[in-house]
Amino acid sequence: MPVPPTTGPQVVVMGVSGSGKSTVGQALADRLGVPYADADDMHPAANVAKMAAGRPLDDADRAPWLREVGRWLAAHPAGGVIGCSALRRRYRDVLRDGAPHAVFLHLAGDPSVLGPRVAGRADHYMPASLVTSQLATLEPLEADEDGVVVDFTAPVERIVATFVEARTSH
């Protein structure tokens, strides 16, 4: 089935837990005037229970979730922003199967900041203990992947502006 051309940006704000995907993603969507979604909300109950118990997901757990995230992107050809860890290249490839023109905003930075950020969140199933496994899993964007890497410790407005400026000069 042919993929419709995009008329707006399809952006995946990626990174490990605590990097600011939800906050930055919503701010970026507001700036671009497109919908925002949080891929965490798309996890099946079994995945949420596994993570809440402190057990990392494996690829079999992630596969249907990643396809769902890709479907969300595909359903927004006029543009959309989604916060999704997208830790490995092959996970990002699944997202691009649904949205070949997706662009990634990788929030990267000092790992020592992440544990306290995650531990300080209320009402989230992801325990700080899983940050280490996410960091071990993370594969940074490769040269042939369309995206921008920004330090997650920068102010949200600066992260958004850096991404927008990089994309307009692209």
Residues 6+ apart with CB under 8 A from 68: 42
Write down the pLDDT at residue 73: 96
C-alpha to C-alpha distances, 21 to 4, 6, 144, 146, nearest whole angstrom: 26, 23, 22, 18
pTM of the model: 0.85
Query: What's the Cα-to-Cα distance from 104 to each of 13, 46, 129, rounded to whole Å?
Result: 6, 27, 26
Domains, in order of start, for the chain: 10-168 (3.40.50.300)
Is residue 5 scored above 50 in pLDDT?
no
Amino acid at 114: L
pLDDT digits (tens, 9 = 90+) for 38-93: 998 998 888 888 877 878 778 899 899 999 999 999 999 999 999 999 999 999 99
State the Cα–Cα distance between residues 71 and 143, nearest whole angstrom.
Answer: 25
CA distance 122 to 99: 32
Give residue-wise pLDDT tens across range 117-140: 565 445 544 555 566 777 888 899
